[in-house]
Amino acid sequence: MSASDRATLLRDPPTGSIVYRRFLSMALAETQQLRMLERLRSAGIQPVTLDQLRAGGVDFPAVVIGELELNGYEIERVYEHGRQIGVRLLETEAPDPPASRRRQRWRRASR
CATH number of the domain at 22, please: 1.10.10
Considering the domain boundaries, does residue 54 fall inside one?
A: yes
Q: What is the pLDDT of residue 49?
A: 96
Considering the domain boundaries, does residue 65 fall inside one?
A: yes
Considering the domain boundaries, does residue 30 fall inside one?
A: yes
**Residue 90: DSSP 8-state:** S
**Residue 109: DSSP 8-state:** P
Q: What is the pLDDT of residue 39?
A: 95
For residue range 20-76, what is the model confidence (pLDDT) as tens digits?
Answer: 555 545 555 688 899 999 999 999 999 999 999 999 999 999 999 999 999 889 999
Q: What is the pLDDT of residue 11?
A: 59
Above 50 in pLDDT, residue 15? yes
Q: How deeply is 73 buried, as exposed, middle or buried, from its count of CB atoms within 10 A (0-12, 13-18, 19+)?
A: buried
Considering the domain boundaries, does residue 80 fall inside one?
A: yes
Query: For the chain, how many structural domains are there in total?
Result: 1
Give the global pTM: 0.61
**For residue 71, what are the domain limits?**
18-89
